[in-house]
Amino acid sequence: MNDNRRTHEALSLRRFFDDQLHHLQTLVGSLGSHIHDEPQTEEDKRIVEDFVDASNTKLRAVNDYAYKLRGHVRALYGHVLQIADEIPPPVDLNPDAFMMDPLVNALFVSRRDMDKLVETDHDVESYLRSHSKYQVPVLYLLLTACKSEKGLLGVALQGDTLIREVPQQAVNFSSHKIHMPCASREELGAALKKYLFEHVVALVKQEMTARMVSQLYTDTDNSYESRVKSLANPDVYLNTLVEYLEIPSKLLSIDKTHFKLSKLGIKLEDDDRQSANEFDLHELTWSNNIRNVVLQVALAR
């Protein structure tokens, strides 16, 4: 009697756990289906496809490539938008800017250098030919430059005394370049985001290509199994790419630094009272460790 009762209880308990396990499996399956079927906007689709077009179209050979890339590409794009939002509004690059704006004065050696940069740029020239002054009274541009710092021995005033061979830090700006001529501030904002994202993707493609070339020259195993595991296999390529995209801040970051420079480009202490350019500088760092000063500018025609 007791044995039959125990057997019945055991069977009932087993059925209970089986039912609970089945219910849990159903929930997990439903959750996985929900995640996979998460609705994506047309913008999401466009961003992923633009990324594939710019990085490696062979990714489309991978089953469900868009779903596998979507989260990482969307995170990267969102990070780029955050970087763009940290770049200040356009600075006026009018004729008086060299004398009146500390940042502009520090970036250029002379007003003539500032004017020459715009006048000799082919993209600007082409844009101005196709847009009259009445259509575009103010030209909006993205400006990048390279900053370098160098230690040297110079002279400095200490009270009323001139001291020689004083260790100093000189800051120089070079390789000025103009990008994305636009007709409005809003258009430049969109162009800035496009420029940042496209450049990040171009560097991603460059890195992945370098890995493929390195693998090609270092791997002497030409067996079928080795080729299947190589980056020439789209599935392996995609998995490696996803790992590389894991941390967007490693692919692009921005730093804001406050500078106080003499008119000769020498770093000054906060309490130094000589004539100086004092400003905030925004500098991008790309995945290849190249750094670029970046600012938006507006130029009245």
User: How confident is the model at residue 37, as a pLDDT?
Assistant: 53
User: How confident is the model at residue 95, as a pLDDT?
Assistant: 83
* b/e per residue 171-184 (b: at least 16 CB within 10 A): bebeebebbbbbee
Q: What is the pLDDT of residues 204-252, one digit of tens each?
A: 999 999 999 998 888 777 777 777 888 999 999 999 999 999 999 999 9
Q: What is the pLDDT of residues 268-287, one digit of tens each?
A: 988 888 889 999 999 999 99
User: How confident is the model at residue 31, as a pLDDT?
Assistant: 46
- Kind of pairing between the strands at 291-300 and 161-182: unpaired
Token pair in block for residue 215: 């693998």
Q: Is 288:125 a contact under the CB 8 Å cutoff?
A: no
pTM of the model: 0.81
Those residues of the chain that have pLDDT short of 70 are 1-39, 157-159
Amino acid symbol at 232: A
Q: Is the dihedral of CA 84, 90, 93, 97 positive or negative?
A: negative
Closest C-alpha to 137, from 185, 91, 195: 185
User: How confident is the model at residue 189, as a pLDDT?
Assistant: 97
Map out the domains of the chain as residue ranges: 91-300
